[in-house]
């Protein structure tokens, strides 16, 4: 990862997006965070700038095409280059498939899928003009198997993986690499309920060969690699970061041996 390069991170104020911002800015990358929580975004900006990191927050809704075009052009104007994009912005809703509302389904798709595409399209001309770039989209383990009451989220993430592959093929000639990551159960605010519920936690761990939750910094480290020149011949792939969950037998593993 070369110091001085510029990365846009959507959803970079909290959770896994924030971990990516922390990782990249610590390595000298200049960061533009795009989000819709301006007060928290400005607080994040001030906190990291006080640590000597180059981080600027931009308020923008990734599902709004005009807002995306505006904010990306502002970022290029302010930073003078555009090397990396990490699409971490996303929402999750839960509803039975038989009763999920069209409006709710479309909202999830508009942010998780369409928002990612709009950001990719917006950065494309700048990256292509300047000789290339690297993009990482957020998939999910739920892109790879079905789950009860999560049809909207799982649909959006499955489509993100296919979008990633298509963009990788389309833009390879422009030296723009596009990859994805599919995090499993990671210790974030989103998973706090699972980590506090001993029954549900054991159900998760029983399906995870490494028998633990992942850490946000472990996800950020993989994204760091995919963005960097160390991954210069890697494009169109999705990397699970799940402690072996997707690799294992879907039948629950035996309880861990007691010492």
pLDDT digits (tens, 9 = 90+) for 122-136: 999 999 999 999 999
Are 85 and 119 within 8 A, CB to CB? Answer: yes
- Mean pLDDT, residues 80-95: 96
Residue ranges of the domains in the chain?
A: 6-186+215-240
Q: Which of 76, 84, 105, 153 is catalytic?
A: 153
**Confidence band, pLDDT 50/70/90 cuts, at residue 82:** very high
Q: Where is average pLDDT lowest: 89-93, 146-150, 156-160, 195-199?
A: 195-199
* Statement: residue 81 has pLDDT above 90: yes
Considering only residues 160 and 203, tell me which one the structure prediction assigns the higher pLDDT.
Answer: 160
pLDDT given for residue 69 in this prediction: 98
**Confidence band, pLDDT 50/70/90 cuts, at residue 163:** very high
pLDDT given for residue 193 in this prediction: 63
Summarised one tens digit per residue, pLDDT across range 19-73 is 999 999 999 999 999 999 999 999 999 999 999 999 999 999 999 999 999 999 9
pLDDT given for residue 258 in this prediction: 46
Considering only residues 123 and 254, tell me which one the structure prediction assigns the higher pLDDT.
Answer: 123
- Mean pLDDT, residues 207-214: 93
The verdict on domain 6-186+215-240 having CATH code 3.30.56.10 is no
pTM > 0.75: yes or no = yes
Hey, is 21 helix, strand or coil?
helix
* Statement: residue 256 has pLDDT above 90: no
- Arithmetic mean of pLDDT over the chain: 93
Sign of CA dihedral 115, 224, 129, 32: positive
**Confidence band, pLDDT 50/70/90 cuts, at residue 249:** confident
Characterize the bridge pairing of strands 176-183 and 6-10. unpaired
Q: Within a 13 Å sphere around the CA of 161, how many CA atoms are in the beta-carbon half? A: 19
User: Exposed, middle or buried: residue 175 (CB in 10 Å: 0-12, 13-18, 19+)?
Assistant: middle
- Mean pLDDT, residues 115-123: 98
Considering only residues 259 and 244, tell me which one the structure prediction assigns the higher pLDDT.
Answer: 244
Instruction: Give catalytic status of residue 153 as yes or no.
Output: yes
* Statement: residue 157 has pLDDT above 70: yes
């Amino acid at each position: 990862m070369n110091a001085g390069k510029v990365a846009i991170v959507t959803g970079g104020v909290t959770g896994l997006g924030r971990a990516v911002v922390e990782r990249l800015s610590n390595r000298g990358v200049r960061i533009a965070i795009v989000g819709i929580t301006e007060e928290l975004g400005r607080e994040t900006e001030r906190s990291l700038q006080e640590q000597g990191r180059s981080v600027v927050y931009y308020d923008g809704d990734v599902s709004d095409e005009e807002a995306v075009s505006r904010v990306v052009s502002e970022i290029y104007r302010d930073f003078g280059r555009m090397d990396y994009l990490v699409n971490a912005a996303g929402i999750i809703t839960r509803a039975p498939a038989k009763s999920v509302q069209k409006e709710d389904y479309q909202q999830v798709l508009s942010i998780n899928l369409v928002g990612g595409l709009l950001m990719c399209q917006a950065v494309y001309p700048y990256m292509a003009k300047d000789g290339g770039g690297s993009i990482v989209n957020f998939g999910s383990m739920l892109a790879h198997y079905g789950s009860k009451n999560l049809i909207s989220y799982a649909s959006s993430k499955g489509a993100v993986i296919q979008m990633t592959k298509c963009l990788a093929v389309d833009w390879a000639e422009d030296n723009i690499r596009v990859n994805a990551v599919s995090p499993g159960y990671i210790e974030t605010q989103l998973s706090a309920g699972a980590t506090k519920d001993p029954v549900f936690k054991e159900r998760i761990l029983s399906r995870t060969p490494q028998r633990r939750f992942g850490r946000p910094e472990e996800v950020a480290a993989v994204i760091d690699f995919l963005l960097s020149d160390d991954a210069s011949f890697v494009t169109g792939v999705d990397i699970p970061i799940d402690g072996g969950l997707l690799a294992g037998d879907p039948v629950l593993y035996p309880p861990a041996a007691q010492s």
